[in-house]
Structure 1
Amino acid sequence: MAKKRIKEERCVVINGKFCPESKAVISVFDKGFLYGDGAFETMRGYGGRIFRFEEHYRRLSWALEYLEIDISYDSGEIRDLIRQLMKKNFAKDAYIRVTVTRGSGDGRIDIEDKSSPTVLIVVKPFTPYDKKFCREGMTARMSGIRRNDKSPVPQLKTLNYLEPILARREAREAGADEGILIDNQGRVMGGAVSNIFVVDDRGLVTPAEGYAILSGITRKAVLEIAKDMRMKAVESHISIDELLSAKEVFITNTLMEIMPVVEIDGKIIGNGKPGPTTKKISKAYKELVTKETGTG
């Protein structure tokens, strides 16, 4: 008879040290806690393998460089700590988050050279989105929050997530699943926590980098897939009218992968069901993940 595994408390890593979740603490003067001064990455583990870890690490490194936060861990060390946590926490299919803050200070907003960054790694079993969203699609609502198209902040995955939080709250209060953010020029930037794609007469269209969007890892993968499938893909501005009149709309991020959107502000998109292009992209993405992680 197989032995029953005793349920153990999950561990996290703080500054290179493993500790139980219930005993994980950071300083009340940590600038990530006080001011959102830091950056993070969310990754997916599939069958014990991290999907596109190096791309996530490069994006985190770029954000930290911009914020002038220097950590002593290289990509190999971070990857090794994540892998150890995946084993310790019995999380082959995993939600992975790496959070880096400027560290503790004297409570002031000033950047202090003596601050030692806090590096937190969390790994837990992945809880997938409800399958009905993939089958039937999500609904969305335009947010009243406006992103500054001249600001570099939306291009960084920082700990200050107030805009996405408010946009998601607006959506949920209106009975929708996701909020859609617009910039101060009236252009569609993406979902509260996702990149956005539309299918229209131009082909597959997504907002261009260099404006108030985060350059998503899944977004990049979708553009690669479109190229491989010889599908016309365009990085361009999307107006509200173009969004609402699109044949198909879908959103992407690391956790949800490819998610169809079938209604925005009460307006039915296409025929109100996930469209053929969305389904093709979703299938191809899953195949890409299987190929790169050796799962399936």
Structure 2
Amino acid sequence: MGAGFKTRSQNARVKPNSSLRVWADGVISARKTSIDSFNFVLHYGAPAVWEGIRAYLKEDGTTHIWLLRPHIIRLFNSAKILNIEIPYTVDELVKACQEVVEAAGGGDLYLRPIVYATQDAESVRAQSNKINVDIYCFPLKSSDKTSLKARISSTPRGYPQYFMQAKTTANYAVLHNCKNEFEGVDELLFCDNDGYVVEASVANIFIVKQDVIFTPPQTGSILSGLTRQWVAQKAQELGLQIIERRLTRPDIFTADEMFLTGTYMEVMPITVVDGRNIGKGEPGHLTRMLKYEFTKHTRGLTR
């Protein structure tokens, strides 16, 4: 469930390198890869799949890549859904991620493996595509936000259910269409075609009512979030009741607490939706508990 190791720079007590590192075809450099404007992915939006992975500097001085193997397995599953054949094995890409973190000097980092086609866009048919894999690794600054304000978007999350199970670049095109809706808020919440609230722009949704935790079912139009799975399991270990069911707008507005989960956001409280306070308008006690448990786990805290 991830990888913990000491980088050479940490053993030597050297400050982690702050520059970008890129793994491409087995070679690590400080340069971004480039594609021309006639690339298939730029014209047709697919096939391209990606993952977002975090590395944490733990209390004992080691760097831990959180849920590394599950992330890479999900990358391969996304590729299978889009009929992409990745020219590496899971083990090879796990090792590549470890190598690029080592090259970056360890510490708090964000990894972005991306699998994409390099064929020219002469035809919409992609059977003959050459597939490339790049892994970007760069320092991740900690957010100073302790909670977020959100708005329910007017744009539905109307993708086919199977397509949402793939972490593909095409699924995020909707965010550009909704960019004006971000004004005055930090995050957008999306509904499916039936009007149920299913997901945030880059995170999964949880609400709390009378100390019971609710989250949209995996059968809905949501990505199978790894942080979502971890939080649900931890909640059960703590003796909390967690129920998967569809969420309506009234469910959101009458919740006692609300939080989002995701690799980038971790566990993030939502205190305002559509200008209305959620509960008391501050992070609730179960949200704070789960956020602490997540931090304790990823940072290896002993207290």
**Considering the TM-score relative to the shorter chain, is it more than 0.5?**
yes
- Percent identity, aligned pairs only? 27
- Within 5 Å, give how 1:273-292 maps onto structure 2: 273-291=282-300
Aligned to 1:51: 66
Corresponding residue pairs, total:
285
Q: CA RMSD in A?
A: 2.4
Matched, 1:41 2:55: no
Contact 1:195/1:252, CA 8 A, preserved across alignment: yes
Deviations 1:89-134 (CA, angstroms, capped at 9, x unpaired): 224211110000133234321122x21101111001111212xx22
Question: What is the one-letter code of the residue matched to 1:42?
Answer: G
Aligned to 2:26: 16
Flag the 1:207–1:165 CA change in 2: closer, same or farther, 3 A. farther
Deviations 1:61-82 (CA, angstroms, capped at 9, x unpaired): 1110011111121122112222
Cα distance in structure 1, aligned partners of 2:66 and 2:109 = 10
Aligned to 1:65: 80
Flag the 1:35–1:150 CA change in 2: closer, same or farther, 3 A. closer
Matched, 1:261 2:270: yes
Cα distance in structure 2, aligned partners of 1:224 and 1:111 = 40
Aligned to 1:129: 143
Q: Which moved more, 1:10-19 or 1:237-246?
A: 10-19
Aligned to 1:178: 187
Matched, 1:79 2:90: no
What are structure 1's unaligned runs of at least 5 residues?
none
Contact 2:18/2:138, CA 8 A, preserved across alignment: no
Cα distance in structure 2, aligned partners of 1:211 and 1:121 = 30
| TM-score normalized by the length of structure 1 | 0.89
Aligned to 2:155: 145
Deviation of the 1:6 alpha carbon: 11
Flag the 1:117–1:27 CA change in 2: closer, same or farther, 3 A. farther
| TM-score normalized by the length of structure 2 | 0.87
Contact 2:16/2:107, CA 8 A, preserved across alignment: no
Matched, 1:111 2:120: no
Deviations 1:160-193 (CA, angstroms, capped at 9, x unpaired): 11123434x24422x0000000111110011111
Flag the 1:277–1:9 CA change in 2: closer, same or farther, 3 A. closer
Cα distance in structure 2, aligned partners of 1:106 and 1:138 = 40
Cα distance in structure 2, aligned partners of 1:5 and 1:225 = 33
Flag the 1:116–1:276 CA change in 2: closer, same or farther, 3 A. same
SS of 2:234 mapped into structure 1: helix
Cα distance in structure 1, aligned partners of 2:279 and 2:13 = 53
SS of 1:263 mapped into structure 2: strand
Flag the 1:295–1:43 CA change in 2: closer, same or farther, 3 A. farther
Deviation of the 1:196 alpha carbon: 0.6
Flag the 1:81–1:251 CA change in 2: closer, same or farther, 3 A. same
What are structure 2's unaligned runs of at least 5 residues?
1-11, 58-62
> Where in structure 1 do 4 or more consecutive aligned residues deviate above 4 Å?
2-9
Deviation of the 1:13 alpha carbon: 1.8
Aligned to 1:197: 206
Contact 2:113/2:135, CA 8 A, preserved across alignment: yes
Cα distance in structure 2, aligned partners of 1:267 and 1:162 = 28
Deviation of the 1:152 alpha carbon: 2.3
SS of 2:156 mapped into structure 1: strand
